[in-house]
Amino acid sequence: MDATLTLVDTLDEALAMREWLGQRREWLGFDIETTGLIVGRDKIRMVQVGDPDHGWAVPYERWSGLIHDTLGRYDSSAMVAHNALFDLKFLKHDGIIIPTHLVHDTMIMSHLDSPMSANGLKPTCKRIFGPAAGAGELALKLAMQKQKWGWASVPYDFPAYWAYSALDTVLTSKLAETLYPRIASDGRKKIYEVEMGCINVLKDAELAGLQIDLDYVAETRQKLETYMSELEPHIPIKNPNSDKQVLELLQSMGAKLWRRTERGNLSCDDDALIEVAEKAGEGTQLHTLATCLSGWRKSSRLISNYISNFEDMNVDTILRCSVRTVGARTGRMSITQPALQTLPRGPIIRSAFVAREGQSFVLCDYEQLELRVLASYAQEATMLEAIHRDEDLHDFVAGELYGQDFTREQRQVAKNCNFGKAYGAGTATFANTAGISMPEAEKFIHMYDNKFPGVARFQQEVIKQVKERGYVETILGRKIPVEKDKAYKGTNYLVQSSATADLLKLKIVECSNAGLHDYFRLPIHDELMFEIPDDFVEEGARIVQEVMTERDLFNCPLTASPEIVKNWGDKYK
């Protein structure tokens, strides 16, 4: 890229940067380099600013006062970062607060512009500007490998490091020049504003973090490890976590396996092991083996995926996870460090999270959110009437198709079919998840389509739209590309994105605007978590419920129910 890059290493260079910052420009790019990813433990090493013509790299330890005095007071133009959530939270933790109304994010712009493309800075720049935009990336990587440097140890004055860092702000500002007009001109500005509002709330939520009960974590590790050691004598293989070894052992003992993974391989997941145990019958050797395998593997995952991460990632008992706001094509959020959106059911892991003294958690989740969104889009009258009567949709469908004396197993079939329709699943997938034969699945889907024709009609309309224009568009204007040869997936993308991307992010922003900004902690699928002082918690829960309940965007109410607990696990006991 044709731009001047400068390492601020002298007073003259610092004064030159201050003068440069006073010039008029459309976009000021900003970025940071850190020693790691955990706020409160890792530190800022470098702060960079730039526009399309000039990039500056500022060693933070030497020139922190300069950054506080310039970046902390800058208000001359729009400021843009790539993955602003990361930069903003580190800067604020160090006392540098950038006004919300100035901040933009090219990662969000990139995602909205091309949801199927990798939205990292370098991949986006290569897509927009060509391969030359990635210059310097490989050289820095090879040099760091050769010298055995990490991001915490590479010398700040190593040319490939500081130039690479300064160039990022040049690229970011050029991206904003290119992408923002696209987003603003074709109906996606509203969803962009929601995304940016959500980032502002999440920044402070991540800084606040969640408190971990480390004594409980240690006790849980000990219990799980003891339980695993008790099971090991009943498991005659070296590595119970090896699917290959488990499958060979089960088949050698005559187990009939039929569940398949998404890639078509035989599955030995928890559901498969439970089925093996049930079919073998209590008291048999196969039942004992499958039960012990299931228990051992579950416990192993709990330790490696959660317990160990809680121990390693907390800072003075506070766990600050990272939310990726556009972690999927549909715009759904994902959580890492650790993965709190994939917590197992039940209280075991969630009980590690406790509200701070004098506060309580408010957990508010939607009732059958995606199914209600599906019914709304499909304009399926009978389902909408049931929703307005506040009926459980799984009960309703089971009652309509099996009669009101339906069994628990029949309700499960209805539930799997409901979700199959929402997710665009085929007959084979439905049969597999519902645990019924293909003829039974075909018969049930035929009855379902006859009883609820709006759903099937909607699915066909979505397929037609995808084949005509190559994308679906959500209620807030998010455009999600769908491969034309997989047009059936359009229903899933549309429903999922409208429910757990657009709506949930909109409600995070609205809750913040309703006075709950400081109390928000975490988004979890179709649920929002708050931590509210006890003397305000009842009123806070009422406000959360009132704001989260949506009555205008869709053809049916999307209702939410709050619960107040001192310990996250209490909700699941």
SS3 233: helix
Q: Are 297 and 241 a contacting pair, CB within 8 Å?
A: yes
pLDDT at position 414: 96
Percentage of the chain exceeding pLDDT 90: 87
pLDDT at residue 1 is higher than 70: no
What tokens appear for 570 in the block?
């209490």
In terms of pLDDT, which residue wins out, 256 or 6?
6
Distances (CA, A) of 38 to 166, 314, 318: 22, 9, 11
Please state, in angstroms and rounded to a whole number, the distance separating the CA atoms of residues 376 and 480: 19
Q: Across the strands, what pairs with 522?
A: 529
Q: Are 489 and 482 a contacting pair, CB within 8 Å?
A: yes
- Phi, psi angle pair for 174, to nearest 5°: -70, -35
Concatenated DSSP letters for 289-312? HHHHHHHHHHHHHHIIIIIHHHHH
* CA-angle at 429, arms to 425 and 430, nearest 5°: 80
CA dihedral 494, 543, 333, 383 (to 10 degrees): -30
- Taking only the tens place, the pLDDT of each residue in 484-523 is 999 999 999 999 999 999 999 999 999 999 999 999 999 9
CA dihedral 156, 321, 423, 454 (to 10 degrees): -110
Please state, in angstroms and rounded to a whole number, the distance separating the CA atoms of residues 371 and 499: 9
CA dihedral 95, 98, 104, 108 (to 10 degrees): 20
Mean pLDDT of the chain: 95
Please state, in angstroms and rounded to a whole number, the distance separating the CA atoms of residues 14 and 7: 9
Residue with tokens 């001047």: 4
Please state, in angstroms and rounded to a whole number, the distance separating the CA atoms of residues 13 and 4: 13
SS3 78: strand
How confident is the model over 423-446, as a mean pLDDT?
A: 90
Distances (CA, A) of 472 to 3, 99, 456: 39, 34, 17
| Confidence bin at 171 (pLDDT 50/70/90) | very high
Strands across the sheet containing 359-366: 520-524, 527-533, 359-366, 560-565
* CA-angle at 77, arms to 71 and 82, nearest 5°: 70
pLDDT at position 185: 87
Number of H helices, E strands in the chain: 24, 16
Ranges assigned E (strand) in 164-205: none
pLDDT at position 327: 77
Residue with tokens 């490091």: 161
pLDDT at position 307: 97
What tokens appear for 550 in the block?
């949506």
Q: Are 332 and 111 a contacting pair, CB within 8 Å?
A: no
What tokens appear for 492 in the block?
């899933």
| Confidence bin at 425 (pLDDT 50/70/90) | confident
pLDDT at position 229: 97
* Phi/psi-derived region of residue 317, left when phi > 0, alpha when psi is between -120 and 50, beta in every other case: left
pLDDT at residue 209 is higher than 70: yes
- The predicted model scores a pTM of 0.94
Please state, in angstroms and rounded to a whole number, the distance separating the CA atoms of residues 503 and 373: 10
Percentage of the chain exceeding pLDDT 70: 100
Please state, in angstroms and rounded to a whole number, the distance separating the CA atoms of residues 509 and 204: 12
* CA-angle at 497, arms to 492 and 502, nearest 5°: 160
Bridge pairing between strands 334-336 and 322-324: antiparallel
User: What is the end-to-end Cα distance of the chain in Å, rounded?
Assistant: 58
What tokens appear for 197 in the block?
């509002």
pLDDT at residue 135 is higher than 80: no
Please state, in angstroms and rounded to a whole number, the distance separating the CA atoms of residues 491 and 452: 16
pLDDT at residue 298 is higher than 70: yes
Please tell me the least confidently modeled range out of 123-127, 294-298, 434-438, 447-451.
434-438
Helix locations, 360-407, DSSP H = 369-378, 381-388, 393-402
How confident is the model over 278-297, as a mean pLDDT?
A: 93
How confident is the model over 280-302, as a mean pLDDT?
A: 94
Please state, in angstroms and rounded to a whole number, the distance separating the CA atoms of residues 190 and 478: 9
CA atoms within 13 A on the CB side of 41: 13
- Taking only the tens place, the pLDDT of each residue in 64-89 is 999 999 998 999 899 999 999 999 99
- Taking only the tens place, the pLDDT of each residue in 212-271 is 999 999 999 999 999 999 999 999 999 999 999 999 999 899 888 877 887 888 888 888
Burial classification of residue 40, based on how many CB atoms lie within 10 Å of its CB (0-12 exposed, 13-18 middle, 19 or more buried):
middle
User: What letters, b where the CB count within 10 A reaches 16 and e where it falls short, cover 434-444?
Assistant: bbbeeeebeeb
**CA-wise closest residue to 541 among 529, 559, 552, 558:** 529
